[in-house]
A and B are shown apart, each in its own frame.
Chain A
């Protein structure tokens, strides 16, 4: 898994991060593609290999594009196609009150605030724009390092903690 500093240097990734409309289209396309091919993959690949392939491809692709931290419960399309787990405080619901006057992070002074970028990018997005105002439930820490795609397809991350879900259903 690449750290922020490393992948920041990866050629092209910063340019791509600032193309949220392109990224949301890719996101939408890959979700549809995954739903289509998942049943086939699961039949073709030997047991246990589907997850291995998924984890590996997410580490490579989302690692490059978003500095993915493999939380296993991706909400990129609701956060301006900007990975919220890069926030040192792991905030999933918007910026903290410590953002510096230049728009950089309280904790890592030379890194732009993840949420300042997320809000700017969300405003440009056509398909999922505005979803940034959704209240995101607490992170399921047990899903760390698992495949978010698999969790999505299998419905693993569809429900939050029981006490929380009761509210969501209302």
Chain B
């Protein structure tokens, strides 16, 4: 690499090192849209660019999963770095399942150096959910300890060991919430604890049961949590009743009411896909009305090409600031 190239690379970094655009959108009070990138089973960056291109025009942030469902894909740090390079706004998902505290803190610094400005801290699905269940589970941190550690690195400018960072990472910190699994009537307490540990935004698990979500939000509002965090509701289109059955029985933490499965089963085969999109749009329209909801997070697993249509039909399309 020639010297001039190195200078260019450094300047590129400077231009990318600004604030999180997702944060700007949320703090401006706009209804945010994020979506989940399908992390490729490939070593070719073109596959990341192709998948991100399906989402980029309609999203304020694109999540790169960290071995979702305990299946191995291209790493979230790499997916995010490639997206940042191409001008997208990546959200780095960090799970506690595969790496100990030394590796995770190193990744937080590295990802920031590569232009990542949003971090989502997760516990992670267990290894038994994936296709390599014989792997060792790590879980050195839990999601809250990870959140607080990431916050300490940013705000105190030190590693967990107390060692000083010359340039602390600047990121917008997020966490997950799942209001749809037991103990449902206490899930808002976990949300409160995550906010205390440093969460600035929340992306929830798939919402297919709006009444359950409404009850959760009511309890959260009673604690005043809606004013302390930006909450994005997880949504996604279901391809068929078989896909729904698979998700609710095999994917940890996904709850789909029988009514939705039956509605898809009754739909003629040719229009099932369309019906899945319609259900997704209906759910967005309903959760949008709930006080304390600041956006949606669309997880269209293996049908990312439907995301622009969903965003448009839900009336969420707006001029995105050019990055």
Q: Are A138 and B140 in contact (CB under 8 A)?
A: yes
Q: Is the CB–CB distance between A120 and B252 below 8 Å?
A: no
Partner of A91, one of B123, B159, B160, B162: B123
A122 to chain B, nearest CB (A): 10
Q: Does A144 contact B (CB under 8 A)?
A: no
- A103-B162 contact in complex given A89-B126, A91-B139, A98-B252, C-beta closer than 8 Å: no
Name the residue among B124, B178, B182 with the largest chain A CB count within 10 angstroms. B182
Report whether A107 and B205 are in contact in the complex, using a CB–CB cutoff of 8 Å.
Answer: no
Contact status A141-B140, CB under 8 Å: yes
Indicate if B253 sits at the interface (CB-CB under 8 A).
yes
B61 shortest CB reach to chain A, Å: 20
Contact call A166/B162, Cβ cutoff below 8 A: yes
**A103 and B193 contact, Cβ closer than 8 Å, known pairs A90-B139, A97-B252, A135-B148:** no
Decide if B144 touches A98 in the complex (CB within 8 Å).
no
Number of interface residues of A (CB under 8 A): 35
Contact check, B193 vs A133: say whether CB atoms are below 8 A apart. Answer: yes
In the complex, which residue of chain A has the Cβ closest to the Cβ of B204?
A97
Chain B 246-261 interface mask (CB, 8 Å, partner A; 1/0): 0000001101000000
B148–A161 CB distance below 8 A: no
Contact B126 A163, beta carbon cutoff 8 Å: no
Partner of B123, one of A89, A120, A139, A163: A89
A11 in the interface (beta carbon within 8 A) = no
Q: Indicate with 1 or 0, residue by residue over B151-195, a CB within 8 angstroms of chain A CB atoms.
A: 011001011111100000000000011100111001001101100
Q: A89-B137, A93-B193, A135-B196 are in contact. Are A113 and B182 (CB under 8 A)?
A: yes
> CA–CA, A139 to B149, complex, Å?
13
Question: Could you tell me the distance between the alpha carbons of A113 and B158 in the complex, rounded to whole angstroms?
Answer: 35
Please name all residues of chain A whose beta carbon is closer than 8 Å to the beta carbon of B148 when the two chains form the complex: 135, 164, 167
Main SS at interface, chain A = loop
Within 8 Å CB of A141, what residues of B? 140
Checking A91, A101, A162 against B255 with a beta-carbon cut-off of 8 angstroms, the contacting residue is A101
Q: How far is the CA of A92 from the CA of B190 in the complex (A)?
A: 12
B145 touches A97 (CB 8 A): no
**Interface pair A94/B126, CB less than 8 Å apart:** no
The 0/1 profile, CB within 8 Å of A marked 1, for residues 86-105 of chain B is 00000000001100010000
Complex-state Cα separation, A139 to B143, whole angstroms: 13
Q: Which of chain A's residues have a CB closer than 8 A to the CB of B186?
A: 119
Is residue A57 within 8 Å, beta carbon to beta carbon, of the partner chain? no
Q: How far is the CA of A89 from the CA of B138 in the complex (A)?
A: 8
The verdict on A137 contacting chain B, using a C-beta distance below 8 Å, is yes
Once the chains bind, are B182 and A98 in contact (CB under 8 Å)? Answer: no
Interface: B60 (CB within 8 A): no
Q: Does A98 lie within 8 Å of B101, measured CB to CB?
A: no
- Do A107 and B101 form a contact, CB below 8 Å, given A91-B142, A135-B144? no
Q: Are B190 and A95 in contact (CB under 8 A)?
A: yes
The residues of B that contact A96 with a CB separation of less than 8 Å are 123, 143, 253
Give complex CA distance A135, B195 in Å: 11
Flag if A97 contacts B176 (CB, 8 Å). Answer: yes
Q: Contact at A94–B152, with CB atoms within 8 Å?
A: no
Residue on A nearest B159 in the bound complex, by CB? A163
Task: Tell me whether B145 and A138 are in contact (CB under 8 A).
Answer: yes
Q: How far is the CA of A116 from the CA of B185 in the complex (A)?
A: 11
Asked whether B156 lies within 8 Å of A94 as measured between CB atoms, the reply is no
For B253, list chain A residues within 8 Å (CB): 96-99, 106
In this complex, what residue of A is CB-closest to B181? A99
Does A88 count as interface, using CB distance less than 8 angstroms? yes
Is B156's CB under 8 angstroms from A166's CB? yes
7 further interface pairs, Cβ-Cβ under 8 Å (given A89-B123, A94-B189): A89-B137, A93-B144, A97-B176, A98-B181, A106-B126, A162-B160, A162-B162
- Counting from the closest, the 6 A-B pairs by CB-CB distance are A162-B162, A97-B178, A98-B252, A93-B144, A97-B253, A163-B160
Question: Can you identify 28 A-B contacts, CB atoms within 8 angstroms?
Answer: A88-B126, A90-B142, A91-B139, A91-B143, A95-B183, A97-B177, A97-B205, A98-B181, A99-B182, A99-B183, A100-B181, A102-B182, A106-B125, A107-B128, A120-B183, A135-B148, A136-B144, A137-B145, A138-B140, A138-B160, A139-B140, A141-B140, A162-B161, A163-B149, A164-B152, A166-B152, A166-B156, A167-B148
